[in-house]
Amino acid sequence: MNRPHRGAAGSRGLGTMEVKSKFGAEFRRFSLERSKPGKFEEFYGLLQHVHKIPNVDVLVGYTDIHGDLLPINNDDNYHKAVSTANPLLRIFIQRKEDADYSAFGTDTMTRKKNVLSNVLRPDNHKKKPHIVISMPQDFRPVSSIIDVDILPETHRRVRLYKYGTDKPLGFYIRDGSSVRVTPHGLEKVPGIFISRLVPGGLAQSTGLLAVNDEVLEVNGIEVSGKSLDQVTDMMIANSRNLIITVRPANQRNNVVRNSRTSGSSSQSTESSLPSSTPNILANFLQGEEESDEEDIIIEDSGEPQQIPKAAPTSESLESLTQIELLHESTQNGFLPSSEMNLDHSAGSISMEYEEQDPDHKSLEEDGTIITL
Amino acid sequence: MRRFLRPGHDPVRERLKRDLFQFNKTVEHGFPHQPSALGYSPFLRLMAIGTRSGAIKLYGAPGVEFMGLHEENNTVMQIHFIPDQCQLVTLLDDNSLHLWSLKQHSGASELREEHRFTLKGPPGSPPSATQITAVLPHSSREVLYLGTESGNIFVVELPSFRVLEDRTITSEAVLQRVPEAHCNRRSCELVEALREHPKNPDHILIGYSRGLIVLWDLQNNKVTHHFLGSQQLENLYWQRDGSKFISCHYDGSHTQWPVSSDNRQPEPLETLVPYGPFPCKAISKIYWQTTKNGLPYIIFQGGMPRASYGDRHSISVVRGSQQTAFDFTSRVIDFFIIFSSEPTAEFDDPSAMVVLAEEELVVIDLKTAGWPAVHPPYLASLHCSAITCSHHVSNIPLKLWERIISAGSKQNIHYSNMPWPIDGGTNIAPDPPQRDLLLTGHEDGTVRFWDASGVCLHLLYKLSTVRVFLTDGDPNDNMNALGEDEWPPLRKVGTFDPYSDDPRLGIQKIYLCKYSGYLTVAGTAGQVLVMELNDEDAEHVVDYAEADLLQDQEGYRWKGHEKLKTRDGPVRFEAGFQPFVLVQCQPPAVVTSLALHSEWKLVAFGTSHGFGLFDHQQKRLVFVKCTLHPSDQLALEGPLSRVKSLKKSLRQSFRRIRRSRVSSRKRRGGSGNASEVQEANAKFDQDALQEMELAPVQRKIEARSAEDSFTGFVRTLYFADTFLRDSSRHCPSLWAGTNGGTVYTFCLRVPPAERRMDEPVRAEQAKEIQLMHRAPVVGILVLDGRGIPLPEPLEVAHDLSKSPDMQGSHQLLVVSEEQFKVFTLPKVSSKLKLKLTALEGCRVRKVTVANFGSCKTDDYSENDLAVLTNLGDIQIISLPFLKLQIRYPCIRKEDVSGIASCVFTKYGQGFYLISPSEFERFSLSTKWLVEPRCVVDMPEVTSNNHVHKSGMENAARKSRSLGDYGEDERKSGRLMEHALLNDEKVLKEIQSTLEGGR
């Protein structure tokens, strides 16, 4: 990147950017309109064209400013790559069959450029074996702690992502009583508590909910004054995107909240993560808003005997999309869904989504960070 | 977080909402649950019924109804009207007395509790000393005589309930002149009856339970006559002229006694055991009624031979050689005779007997030969067979109304023509705005048609579907026909018959088209009957068709009940709705949804297995669709397997308990002696008990999946003429919603009228929508281009509705138990939604489109959704924007059967069962309100004191009329009236102090 490059002088204006693409041993150079990078699919087609590999499935990667090799596989990380390329965008193309996934990630370019980050995170080098990061599309968040900045430290707001997984939510609630501080002193008031976690269920696997945690809110609605059955119905109605605010029975694991700025600075040390993830997360958040609306509609073409299991027609985009395919189809549409393996190992998720998202006014963290 | 945003308050809309919506529970229809007491005022011609829950209800002429509720919710034991007054006294089982009065207020009378009182004995006396057993309101209207268990009779002043201690009639005073043989303390135990002399108000007859009867002179405080009965006394009754009285006894006998001035201790004239000689049950109440033409009526309750008829609930009417023992379907609570109450009349000349049985009211016409029953205009026994479903149809065309009434009148020929004898008060409510029908389906396979237009829910016509089927009960129909010389001469009266011959006959769904007179009903064993109204009797064959809803699904076995057997050959049907087609679902599971389109002549039906469409014109099955999920074994096997699984789970839980007990004993096994073991066991049991108590009620939180049980259960069916394929052509369609959140749509091709019989109706599936939240679909509705629900079939043809807007784009509203969603049509995409359960934790139980008119202007009305939730709340949700308008708590959430029974009308009213026999009527509309409004006129006053009092009341009424009832009459009225009540109390206090000073 410190190399002077001729393209800058010869560029047809400030808006263009040079691209250097490597496939196997071959390099290709071309330029792109920085302000109008187009869609990822067009870019992908362009790469196939310039390398003359029209029918080869490939993985596309680029090196970011820190020298890390990061994937490009959707519009978001493509745009990120274009916008951060300075001044040259280096592209690495691998055949999908012999793709080395482990090549992606931190320090993959083995350039000791970012000394500061290495100083700040010395343990990063001691990690043996190196953390393997899968492709982002292989992930789906299963849970997150949200709104840490606006909640009292004694409370925890947990989001459980039920969609797309076959795991049961896996918990039970019960009536109970809790003690509240009121103007008239301590008062015993009825409350709703988590009574049981099903082993292997989503709730248990996140580690964010525990037996005897008091449930305070369900998707932003306070449960006080509501009966056990009402709260049950509310949770089931929200089960595809359940946000529970609890007062954990064990108060020792609470997130110790710093000021917002310090929070983000501590997070920035982890910015070696693929910079595309915030966008993915944002998409998830948006997608989630819509997701529970995604009723499946099957419209028949009109043959009376036709079995109504026909593939949905592509006309009415939103409504015809099956929920399971939503994210794949919009973000990495070129990937056949058969390649998805839903890996929910908590560790890798924490790597993937521990990221402060500047666009979202909330701090996103994963539960595994704050366990003892 | 836009979902958490609340709509802002628009003041214009808020004002409009006040003009449109208002919640009132207006009237209770049907028969009071668990009645416990009966009273009658011959002066007011009003009847009062008390219940075990402390309610008191007054009934007069049809439409004249009052209701009161004792705060204590205790059983009402006795009700006594104060002679010639608009007042009555109730005795509760906590020994408290309550004075109620009917007061006029803003033009209508209201029943209100005025005073309460509990008789207190001297300190240290046993509670029985003041336990009231008999109450006599004296004709002077000033005092109440209270007989007690101790035998003492206390006198209290009215209306203050002040005890007049100097006038107490003690048992000692009574015994002074009784002969030695009867003279012990015990003979005066428990006052059984108190009766005022009909001619001489200074004499009262006192009957003690041991058999002693005395005539007491109130003026001189002494006994004038002794009547020494040998049998335990039950009750007493004076002959009208006061020369004789009759007593009835525990052994089933009644005795006549003469009262004359020459014999102070007369012997009985006659003792009779009407159903002897074998031991008989007690006669608990007796009437002696004289008539102009000689022969008196003796009417008594009970007295049946103990061994053979001891279980009958009977009242016998004897007049000379005529004798009938009316045999009631349930326990007799009490009864009274309506007779000439003119004080100058020489004879009683009874006209009717009114009997309150536990489950129904029976009135017998005593003037007409054969003593036929009178058809009551109110207090109908809704539960004569248990109600299984109900259906409401508003605004019935006059023609259909008349035809139903005429069919019903042919069924009522055995009733007396006597006008309703209890006719007090005046109904001043405006005439009902329209003719409404409430149809109730019953367990015995009948459908009852009720006139639900006004305050009196009145039976118009009863339809039985039983004739179509062969049932076991048939041959024994004549069992009750008794021979001429049968003894005792029992005659069954009443309609209460909760025992169904065959539970499969039960009616589950009803749909009536008010324009065409087509009716379809569906039942428990998968039977769907299509009927047509015929004004004549007819005999014809009912066509039969079978709908195999499992189609090609193989390998399933239905373990539920079998289908009903049908009759071969023609069946005779009486005038009214006559079935012409029977569609039998296979498997014969209960029909869970039903829809009829009388214009297209199609009927759609659904069960837990699927749904089908039948063309009742060509009598041809158009198609069936199986909705089962392959893993849904429960639905496939039928209801029996569920019972088995319950049993299994019970067994398992018992086993678990036993196992844990055994293991814990083993643990303690080492320790030696028996007592220790016992102790340990006891401790363990206690622990186990505690654990059981502590074991919290848990609720599993799990997303619904496609594999949940009964996902295929068809919850709702809907016909609509709308756009399915493209926005240029609309066509008939059938919509079905299931328990699993699936909506199926079929495009229908109905041949034009001239070729209707020649070409088949065709259907093809057009759409299938799976709601991701998978909650049961409880309602489907298509809104036209203006956002107005499509009209009912034939509504436009009869000029009763604007034709729908077929130009603009239609919208589809799908209501699940959890959400309301609007989709566009013909291309289905989500447009709007209201996530009720996610926001409030309540679920939709019932939903209907209702039209609300403004009470301010005649020209504004709008359609909204009326929704009942599982918490018993009623919510009104606007159309088509799905905004919550207003919420009212209506039914207790624990009252599951009440919530399940709720039915809304098209104009914002509704009904739900508050007991098996009573519908509560409520109104959500400011415009359509059916509630009792009636006046009971004040009695004419005789004494000075009363003139004074009523004068004051008139003054009060005047001051009341000064109040401004313009804007919100109901509310301000209530406030005003409260203020006046206080005033009146003050006035009374002043009055009493003045009187005391005199």
Q: Where are the alpha helices (DSSP H) in B611-714?
A: 633-637, 639-668, 674-694
Which amino acid, A332? N
Q: Between chains, do A172 and B842 touch, taking CB under 8 Å as contact? A: no
Grouping H, G, I as helix, E, B as strand and the rest as coil, residue A252 is helix
Candidate from A170, A219, A300 with C-beta closest to B767: A300
Domain spans of chain A?
16-98, 143-253
Distance between CA atoms of B636 and B655, rounded to whole angstroms?
29
- Chain A residues whose beta carbon lies within 8 Å of the beta carbon of residue B1: 220
> B995 falls in which pLDDT band (50, 70, 90)?
low
b/e map B290-318, b = 16+ CB within 10 Å:
bbeeeebbbbbbbbbbbeebeebbbbbbb
What's the whole-number mean pLDDT along residues A148-166? 80
For B778, list phi and psi in degrees, rounded to 5: -110, -10
Strands B322-328 and B490-492, by their bridges, are parallel
- Chain A residues whose beta carbon lies within 8 Å of the beta carbon of residue B725: 302
pTM above 0.90, yes or no: no
Q: Between chains, do A236 and B828 touch, taking CB under 8 Å as contact? A: no
Chain B residue set in contact with A, beta carbons under 8 Å: 1, 3-4, 696-704, 725, 762-773, 775, 818-819, 821, 827-830, 833, 835, 837-843, 870-871, 893
Distance between CA atoms of B778 and B836, rounded to whole angstroms?
14
Q: Flag whether pLDDT at B695 surpasses 70.
A: no
What is the nearest CA distance from A311 to chain B, expressed in angstroms?
12
Give residue-wise pLDDT tens across range A40-63.
888 888 888 888 888 888 888 888
Candidate from B696, B765, B819 with C-beta closest to A308: B765
Q: Between chains, do A174 and B829 touch, taking CB under 8 Å as contact? A: no
Given this model, what pLDDT does residue A318 score? 37
Given this model, what pLDDT does residue B880 score? 87
What's the whole-number mean pLDDT along residues B830-835? 90
Which tokens sit at B371? 């003593």
> A34 falls in which pLDDT band (50, 70, 90)?
confident
B423, B367 in Cβ contact below 8 A? no
Candidate from B1, B765, B767 with C-beta closest to A220: B1
**Length in residues, chain B:** 998
Nearest CA in chain A to B837: A234
CA of B856: how far to CAs of B101, B852, B863, B915, in Å?
A: 35, 12, 17, 36
User: Which residue has 């998707």 as its token pair?
Assistant: A219
More confident residue, A142 or B883: B883
What is the nearest CA distance from A323 to chain B, expressed in angstroms?
9
Among B701, B734, B774, B892, the residue to mutate for chain A (most A Cβ within 10 A): B701
Share of chain B above pLDDT 70, in %: 83
Q: Is B957 exposed, middle or buried (0-12, 13-18, 19+ CB in 10 A)?
A: middle
Which tokens sit at B496? 């209460």
What is the nearest CA distance from B57 to chain A, expressed in angstroms?
35
Q: Flag whether pLDDT at A12 surpasses 80.
A: no
Distance between CA atoms of B334 and B318, rounded to whole angstroms?
18
Nearest CA in chain B to A297: B769
Contacts of A169 (CB under 8 A, 6+ apart): A160, A162, A201, A202, A203, A239, A242, B701, B702, B703
Candidate from B3, B698, B837 with C-beta closest to A195: B698
Candidate from A223, A226, A238 with C-beta closest to B838: A238
Q: Flag whether pLDDT at A308 surpasses 90.
A: no
Q: Between chains, do A295 and B764 touch, taking CB under 8 Å as contact? A: no
> A165 falls in which pLDDT band (50, 70, 90)?
low
Where residue B688 falls (left for φ over 0; alpha for ψ -120 to 50; beta otherwise) is alpha
Which amino acid, B317? V
Q: Between chains, do B704 and A239 touch, taking CB under 8 Å as contact? A: yes
The CATH code for residues A16-98 is 3.10.20.90
CA B209 to chain centre: 37
Element (H, E) at B459: strand B458-464
Distance between CA atoms of B337 and B301, rounded to whole angstroms?
12
How large is the C-alpha radius of gyration of chain A?
Answer: 24
Least confident of A167-171, B102-106, B611-615, B682-686: B682-686
Nearest CA in chain B to A195: B698
User: What is the four-CA torsion angle of A169, A142, A312, B552, rounded to 10 degrees?
Assistant: -30
Given this model, what pLDDT does residue B686 score? 62
* Long-range CB contact pairs, B755-759, < 8 A, 24+: B756/B601, B756/B617, B756/B618, B757/B617, B757/B618
Which amino acid, A18? E
Candidate from B699, B703, B771 with C-beta closest to A162: B703
Candidate from B769, B827, B893 with C-beta closest to A295: B769
Give residue-wise pLDDT tens across range B295-338.
899 999 999 999 999 899 999 999 988 999 999 999 999 999 99
Give residue-wise pLDDT tens across range A203-226.
888 888 899 999 999 998 999 889
Number of Cβ within 10 Å of residue B736's Cβ equals 27
| DSSP letters for A51-62 | TT-TT--EEEEE
Q: Is B990 exposed, middle or buried (0-12, 13-18, 19+ CB in 10 A)?
A: exposed
Among B699, B707, B840, the residue to mutate for chain A (most A Cβ within 10 A): B699
> A14 falls in which pLDDT band (50, 70, 90)?
low
What's the whole-number mean pLDDT along residues B560-577? 91
What's the whole-number mean pLDDT along residues B837-864? 91
More confident residue, A316 or B931: B931
What is the nearest CA distance from A172 to chain B, expressed in angstroms?
4
Tell which CATH classification among 3.30.1490.20, 1.25.40.10, 1.10.3720.10, 2.30.42.10 matches the domain A143-253.
2.30.42.10
Element (H, E) at B299: strand B297-302
Q: Where are the alpha helices (DSSP H) in B671-824?
A: 674-694
Q: How many Cβ pairs within 8 Å bridge chains A and B?
A: 141
User: Which residue has 């792109």 as its token pair?
Assistant: A32
Q: Flag whether pLDDT at B514 surpasses 80.
A: yes
Question: A18-27, A108-117, B223-232, B752-761 — which one is most confidently predicted on average?
Answer: B752-761
Give residue-wise pLDDT tens across range B959-989.
333 333 333 444 433 333 333 334 455 445 5
Distance between CA atoms of B518 and B596, rounded to whole angstroms?
8
B381, B917 in Cβ contact below 8 A? yes
Given this model, what pLDDT does residue B971 score? 40
Mean pLDDT (chain A) is: 65
Q: Does the interface predicted TM-score (ipTM) exceed 0.85? A: no
Contacts of B938 (CB under 8 A, 6+ apart): B86, B104, B950, B953
Distance between CA atoms of B26 and B248, rounded to whole angstroms?
43
Given this model, what pLDDT does residue B759 score? 92
Distance between CA atoms of B848 and B722, rounded to whole angstroms?
20
Candidate from B4, B725, B768 with C-beta closest to A308: B768
Distance between CA atoms of A47 and A91, rounded to whole angstroms?
9
Nearest CA in chain B to A163: B703
What is the nearest CA distance from B745 to chain A, expressed in angstroms?
9
Q: Between chains, do A230 and B871 touch, taking CB under 8 Å as contact? A: yes
Q: Between chains, do B767 and A240 touch, taking CB under 8 Å as contact? A: no
Q: Flag whether pLDDT at B107 surpasses 90.
A: no
> B939 falls in which pLDDT band (50, 70, 90)?
low
Given this model, what pLDDT does residue B668 score? 43
Contacts of B677 (CB under 8 A, 6+ apart): B665, B668, B671
Give residue-wise pLDDT tens across range A105-131.
555 454 444 444 444 554 544 444 455
Q: Between chains, do A306 and B837 touch, taking CB under 8 Å as contact? A: no
Least confident of A171-180, A352-361, B752-761, B833-842: A352-361
For B523, list phi and psi in degrees, rounded to 5: -130, -170
